[in-house]
Structure 1
Amino acid sequence: MNKNTDIDIVIRYLEDPDNEQLKRQLNDWIQEDTANLDIFLDMKAMWQGDPLPAASAFDTQGQWLQLNTALETLPAETTATATRTTSRKSRVIQMKSRYWWAAAAVLAAGLTWTWFGPGSYKTITTAQNLDSLHLPDGSMVYINAHSTIRYSRSFGKNNRQVKIDKGEAFFDVVQNDALPFKVDAPDVEVQVLGTAFNVKAAKAGVKVFVQSGKVSAAYKGTEKKVILTPGQEASLLHNGNSIDTRLHKEKNNILAWKTRCLTFDDAPLTEVAAALSDFYNVQVIISNQQLADKKLLATFPNMPLEEVLDIMRKTLQINITYKNNLVEIH
């Protein structure tokens, strides 16, 4: 597969990320060479509008001349029919423009590496969709919507540190006793050897939940820390010094954003309201406090909020109104 075709795969996927065939093609290309993942992530970041580095003493003009020469040799798109319609010609012109942009993105990615050096960070920002990332050490990161994480370009060589600037991520970490895995969140540092855990950086503070293994969560610059085991969650407030811990039952909704399934096992409405608010990004209030202790036994596998509320109305025989991103239970 030549470089022009590689660029075409990435661009077509970025234009239509829900296309299953394009997803498979992109995945096959990434599996061919681990360096392809770096190219894809850099191009994706630029596609989403991440800023490029400032100009340096790099011989930009010379590189562009080389690039222009290479682009002039790009093969024209072929079609099964001998004649092309006007719309088809328009598409060919558009794709050549895309090739130019994509090649520029690849060149800029190389500039970023050279200019910032091995200590720089790669940044992944999600909008309304979830995303996942295969780190160089084999660990997996699943990223919630509206989140931003960063990791060093030297990740896996002399460090295994990931920064969460905002949002939420689930980590499935490959064990390496010689090189602990660290998550740097606002005011909080999480350290593990090999485990699966969730970190949520919100306005009020940071929450750490452990699915398996053992995790240390500590306030930066202090000795105030807690060791968490499976099922435990720690809450660490911004500018605080106390750590609240809670042991969750096996069926909980902390990872519902990742599994896309809400499960309530005789859960009180106060707990249901909090889970719905977090999952659907809406405000949920219980205006009639006599309903707060009502229990819900139900499972909602990635269902629209309107359907969930309708089932709750009928099951619990309560009144629910939903308007302008506000759900009121009364």
Structure 2
Amino acid sequence: MTEEQAKELLQKYLDQQANPEEQNKVESWYAALHQENVELAADRKAAIGAQMFAHLEAAMQQKTKHHKVFKLQSFVRIAAAIIIIITVGLGIWKLSAPVSSNGNQLTVTTGGAERKRITLSDGSVILLGPSAKISYPKVFASNNRQIALKEGEAFFDIAHQEKRPFTVHTTSGIDIRVLGTSFKVRSYQASKHIEVAVVTGKVSVSNKKGNLGTLIKDEFLTYDKNAGRAAIRKMKTTAFIELAFDGATLEQVISKLQYIYSIKISLSDSTLSKLKSTATFSSRQSPEEILDIICSLHHLKFNGSKNHKTFNIYK
């Protein structure tokens, strides 16, 4: 089996179109990893790595209720296989990717076994999956931030800027608009579906006809390009992101937490807003846990409402 054939088989497996024999073949690749002194063939390593990157990076395994072929447990096993491959140093992914420039516009493409981490001028981060292509400006405009995902999968962790919205355009005419959040987009020209999954915050998905839906944390939208229909559902597995503050003011920290957790935080004294914080958290933590640590750093206190949606920080 060539690398290209292996990739096609993996894609059929992920698209729930593989027959039982093909499913068994994919799952046998994983089983081979548990045998001692067995080296996985290059075509299998490249194929698995190419097709599974975005799912591992965002940890957004999704089980579709209405498909009988797809098995979540099998999906998780294959994902685990990728981790094993990386751990033993088989090196199926590369951290470099071709970058072309046209004035202020940059274009990045990745090969079938490559991934790329891109940091934008506003501090936003993009994790670009294999066989993907994205175009973005070196420096964003003063009133908006726009990029184009031309092919493939990408995970976005967007810097929150209320007055400068961030928009991801796709070749199928689907646009994803955010202010500051983290989400994944899967848009292949050869596939009839576009997928958008939100990890934190809120995004609006639209096309030329209007809004297709507004997604909040842990929601997943699938758009059928042929039928022109969108469906929104809850994700079964929650993904988490890192919340890093490097010398951020308390005002900036509060703004980020309010957006990510959809909560309201007030300060009893406005002078507290300029206090600086350097710390790293995870969205896995509760807002109370994060506030407790931040307040301890500055010898402050906080209280919250019974519904855990409103908080006040005071001396």
The bucket for the TM-score relative to the shorter chain is: 0.3 to 0.5
More strand by share: 2
Given the two structures, how large is their TM-score scaled by the length of structure 1?
A: 0.40
Q: Highest CA radius of gyration, 1 or 2?
A: 1
Q: Which has the higher contact order (CA 8 A, sep 6+)?
A: 2
More helix by share: 1
